[in-house]
Structure 1
């Protein structure tokens, strides 16, 4: 057996490469990063033995289980770096870019949406060979993936949680967008933004946001939900306080009633726009940001100090400007 390279500490603001490996018994993931010479160095690897129903997962689902498991075990790396998933698997590429899915994969995709994950086609086999080597030597670990991954067993935990959904739609003469924020008490927050590829009224955009949010919530197994929206028309029509006057909204209200029945507990309330800013910002983002393809990634960083202070540290030799 070849000697495995020594694990290295990652360099900040440099992407990490995520390699996957799995067989009938084990899943493993390896994080690597290119050094200054362009050579990949291993950063961290994790492994888990598959048990019970997990061994029967299709190959594509096993691959997703590796990504989810790695994101949970190595959350600080996933939060601090862009992750480039090195894969030839076209199904993974396709599923990562699907806006709406159902079932187990939908749950995993929503969980992964909080990270900056991209895709890269394999160019060298060095780190992939390491990942494959790790998969050949499974290390027994206590506990099942079902305790950490939302799957057939652990979905019970998801079902019991009380979720809050905020929604907003934005319609202008040139573009339309949706914003949905799903959150629960333990701190999990899932912000989602969509660009509509068709023209519509503001009321239609609000209903689109509402139904999209409910659909996603159901697709990831949510059964208890509280909905907040700043569209008085949508909220009042859903609650039965307003009659339906626009025939263009009839299908939306019908589907709303249908989806609401799928939840074990459901409530909807009107909230002021000032308390719905997150969903509003996502809707505006979806409508205003131009991009090609099915989706795009926008990262928001936190800057603690003025750019002037940062520049002074970068260029200490520059003289102070006098008033």
Structure 2
């Protein structure tokens, strides 16, 4: 109930409310209930009484209207494994949104199955991407077993692969978004080459790693020698 209406219309008041009514009686007050205001009335009032300002503030401008494209922040990850009589290796290729390539090769000096090696490569890729500060990642692999198991399409029946799945789920929490895509082996050549390189090479016992730099040359070496001469 409206308090002013209560004071003016209640017949018997006592104490503090009576004093309030007495104080208000010296003013010529009359209670009138509030009526709803139609939107058209407000619009007509604003149209009849425009506000004149010399400085017009443009509140509808777009400060970034010159930006035509927002850079995608999704990174791409390719992983693969390779094994032969020389050993087993895994390869990972991480590509930034700007096209920068980060290759990683690791030789596995322990007994491992092909499926477990694929999981090792996938884990290596997730760990490497996390160290680079990647938040959104698209994972590409040519192992249908790994891709379908990590996405939940297939159940993991092997007890030896279950710990890999648990580790992957733990690493996925470090990213904002992780998506998995299966691709044919012929489209995963770079990661396949990195894994084969790691499998074929023999790293001396006194070394933990061997750096490698692969460059592209478009002309024979003697051309550069002639130019230098």
Q: Give the TM-score taking structure 1 as reference length.
A: 0.44
Tell me which residue corresponds to 1:163.
Answer: 75
The structure that has the greater radius of gyration is 2
1:299 pairs, out of 213, 216, 229, with 213
d(CA) in 2 for partners of 1:258 and 1:191? 23
Tell me which residue corresponds to 2:147.
Answer: 235
After TM superposition, give the deviation of residue 173 of structure 1 in Å: 4.0
Counterparts in 2 of 1:186 and 1:168: CA distance versus 1, 3 Å:
same
Structure 1 gaps, min length 5: 1-159, 315-323
Tell me which residue corresponds to 2:40.
Answer: none
Correspondences of 1:73-88 after superposition (within 5 Å): none
Counterparts in 2 of 1:176 and 1:284: CA distance versus 1, 3 Å:
same
Tell me which residue corresponds to 1:274.
Answer: 186
After TM superposition, give the deviation of residue 261 of structure 1 in Å: 2.2
Whether contact under 8 Å (1:171, 1:201) holds in the other structure is no
d(CA) in 2 for partners of 1:303 and 1:225? 31
Counterparts in 2 of 1:303 and 1:217: CA distance versus 1, 3 Å:
closer
1:185-220 CA distances to partner (integer Å, 9 max, x unpaired)? 212210111111112111111000000110111122
Q: Which protein is richer in strand relative to its size?
A: 1
SS in structure 2 of the partner of residue 248 of structure 1: coil
d(CA) in 2 for partners of 1:172 and 1:226? 29
1:277-309 CA distances to partner (integer Å, 9 max, x unpaired)? 0001000111111221101122323343457xx
Which 4+ runs in 1 deviate beyond 6 A? none
d(CA) in 2 for partners of 1:187 and 1:280? 19
Q: Give the TM-score taking structure 2 as reference length.
A: 0.62
d(CA) in 1 for partners of 2:84 and 2:116? 12
d(CA) in 1 for partners of 2:143 and 2:191? 12
Whether contact under 8 Å (1:171, 1:200) holds in the other structure is no
Tell me which residue corresponds to 1:261.
Answer: 173
RMSD between superposed Cα atoms in Å: 1.9
1:258-280 CA distances to partner (integer Å, 9 max, x unpaired)? 11122111100101111110001
Mapped pair 1:283 → 2:192: no
d(CA) in 1 for partners of 2:178 and 2:117? 22
SS in structure 1 of the partner of residue 95 of structure 2: strand
d(CA) in 1 for partners of 2:87 and 2:121? 15
1:188 pairs, out of 93, 100, 105, with 100
Tell me which residue corresponds to 2:61.
Answer: none
Correspondences of 1:92-103 after superposition (within 5 Å): none
SS in structure 1 of the partner of residue 148 of structure 2: helix
Correspondences of 1:194-213 after superposition (within 5 Å): 194-213=106-125
Count of aligned pairs: 152
